[in-house]
Amino acid sequence: MKIQLKYWKIANLNFSLLDDVSKREKNSFDLETGSHFSDKESSDFRVNFRLKIKDKAFDILLDAFFQFELVDEKITEEFKLSSFPKVNAPAIAFPYLRAFISNLTLQAGFEPIILPSINFINLGDKEEFKED
């Protein structure tokens, strides 16, 4: 089974400076993922991401989606229940988000944020963010 990333988009981005930088002592990072399959018979599917970053100086809320295609196959129920949409596709997509966040924070005049590596096998068990 072969999947291919067709394109990706940032659907929502909120970058907010904190008024009082000294109030927040710890940085935090939260990631939610989910997958979406169209109702029609198709070979395309979407992986959604929601990132919440709380830095000492700012907050970032980001929603993004990645459009994938099954090469030479149609999506089946077996595929929907497999690890591909929950593990493999997010693992392919996440480095793009890591690079985007690093570039965004650097270009905004801050130290670049390097998001941690994610074990999508552990995340694959829960689908917290789903956009239909």
Q: What is the pLDDT of residue 128?
A: 47
- Distance from C-alpha of 38 to C-alpha of 27, rounded to nearest angstrom: 37
- Distance from C-alpha of 16 to C-alpha of 129, rounded to nearest angstrom: 22
Give every residue of the chain whose pLDDT is below 50, as ranges.
Answer: 127-132
pLDDT in tens, 60-89: 999 999 999 998 889 999 999 998 999 999
- Distance from C-alpha of 99 to C-alpha of 123, rounded to nearest angstrom: 20
Task: Spell out where the chain has E strands.
Answer: 3-17, 28-37, 44-54, 58-70
Quick one: three-class SS letters along 65-94? EEEEEECCCCCCHHHHHCCHHHHHHHHHHH
Cβ neighbour number for residue 19 with a 10 Å cutoff: 6
Cβ neighbour number for residue 23 with a 10 Å cutoff: 8
Q: What is the pLDDT of residue 132?
A: 38
Q: Does domain 2-125 have CATH number 3.40.190.10?
A: no
What does pTM read for this prediction?
0.86
